[in-house]
Amino acid sequence: QVQLVESGGGLVQAGGSLRLSCAASGRTQSNYVMGWFRQAPGKEREFVAAITWIGGSTYYAASVKGRFTASVDNAKNTLYLQMNSLKSEDTAVYYCAAKSFASAILIATSYDYWGQGTQVTVSS
């Protein structure tokens, strides 16, 4: 099993920055892709970003490309999401997730493990 613990959410003003962290523990060697998803009230969970554990290949939703950066720290088994130029529409609960294989990267239900979620609120 893999456990994911998120941190870094909070309240920021539009145009500000925030960095989310997701610490992974357990049998992390089985994970190949780490992803970030978000869900606003009344909306479906949507893909935000993903990164391969080895190689660091990244994938981004069009809505965040150029503003958000996903990264991994192999030594710390930690996933990060650096969020810059935040907008009010970025307000949501953000979840980190992990999966074993680089397939169906954009599909939330294809991920095997999930963090508890962390609230990000962007005020205007």
Pairing of strands 118-123, 10-13: parallel
- The residues pairing with 35 across neighbouring beta strands, listed in sequence order, are 50, 97
**What is the Cα–Cα distance from 65 to 63, expressed in whole angstroms?**
6
Residues with Cβ within 8 Å of 114's Cβ and at least 6 positions away in sequence, in order, are: 4, 95, 96, 97
Q: 115 in helix, strand or coil?
A: coil
Q: Is the pLDDT assigned to residue 31 strictly greater than 70?
A: no
**What is the Cα–Cα distance from 2 to 99, expressed in whole angstroms?**
10
- Whether residue 26 contacts residue 5, with contact meaning beta carbons closer than 8 Å, is answered with no
**What is the Cα–Cα distance from 26 to 121, expressed in whole angstroms?**
30
Q: Is the pLDDT assigned to residue 99 strictly greater than 70?
A: yes
Q: What is the average pLDDT score of the chain? A: 93
* Residue range 68-94, pLDDT digits in tens: 999 999 889 899 999 999 999 999 999
Q: Is the pLDDT assigned to residue 30 strictly greater than 80?
A: no
